[in-house]
């Protein structure tokens, strides 16, 4: 395993993201919405107000609110970003898995054909001189 493919920082959170697809999906959804994972799960920061009196007269009130992003929220986002950076663009697996020579005999290739893509590719190949051609497919 190359040094660039190690899990690096936050190995525990990265392992949780790899081992728990539901957690990963929820952290991805929260990150895509730019909200903390804890908020995604329904948590709201707690606010506490303290009041100071002098001879029965309110002289000062101070409201303290918990940060919206918890340490775990920030750690999960950083772990997710690290996981995304080390995901192979060719196969979609973590690079420390797909580039590990010990996995060489464990892969099988599956083929599927996107039918609209097949038709659009054939049209594009026939229209090589059509500048600005935009191709899309609809059913029917
Ligand atoms: Zn790969």
Q: What is the pLDDT of residue 44?
A: 94
Residue 1 pLDDT > 60: no
Residue 76 burial by Cβ neighbours in a 10 Å radius (0-12, 13-18, 19+) = buried
Tokens at 118, concatenated: 């097949």
The alpha carbon of 121 and the centre of ligand 1 are apart by a number of angstroms equal to 25
Which of 54-63, 71-80, 126-135 has the least mean pLDDT?
126-135
SS3 (DSSP) at 119:
helix
For residues 78 and 70, is the Cβ–Cβ distance under 8 A?
Answer: no
The upper half-sphere exposure of residue 94, i.e. CA atoms within 13 Å in the direction of its Cβ, equals: 20
Confidence of residue 8 (pLDDT cuts 50, 70, 90): low
Between the CA of 81 and the centroid of ligand 1 the distance, in Å, is: 18
Question: Could you state, in order of their start, the residue ranges of all structural domains in the chain?
Answer: 3-104
Find the 1 Cα to ligand 1 centroid distance in Å.
13
Question: Is 3 a residue whose pLDDT tops 80?
Answer: no
CA distance 33 to 1: 34
Report residue 10's pLDDT band, with 50, 70 and 90 as the boundaries: confident
31-40: average pLDDT = 97
Question: Using one digit for the tens of pLDDT, what is the confidence trace for 104-133?
Answer: 999 999 999 999 999 999 999 999 888 899
- In the reported structure, the alpha carbon of residue 96 is separated from the centroid of ligand 1 by a whole-number distance in angstroms of 9
The predicted pLDDT at position 130 comes to 87
């Amino acid at each position: 395993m190359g040094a660039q493919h190690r899990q690096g920082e936050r190995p525990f959170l990265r392992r949780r993201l790899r081992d728990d697809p539901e957690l990963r999906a929820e952290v991805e959804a929260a990150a895509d919405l730019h909200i903390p994972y804890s908020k995604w799960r329904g948590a709201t920061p707690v606010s506490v107000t303290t009041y100071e009196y002098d001879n029965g007269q309110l002289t000062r009130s101070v409201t303290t609110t918990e940060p919206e992003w918890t340490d775990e929220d920030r750690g999960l986002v950083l772990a997710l970003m690290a996981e995304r950076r080390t995901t192979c663009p060719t196969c979609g697996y973590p690079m420390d898995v797909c580039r590990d020579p010990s996995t060489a005999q464990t892969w099988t290739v599956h083929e599927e054909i996107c039918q609209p893509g097949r038709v659009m590719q054939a049209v594009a190949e026939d229209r090589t001189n059509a500048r600005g051609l935009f191709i899309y497919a609809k059913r029917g």
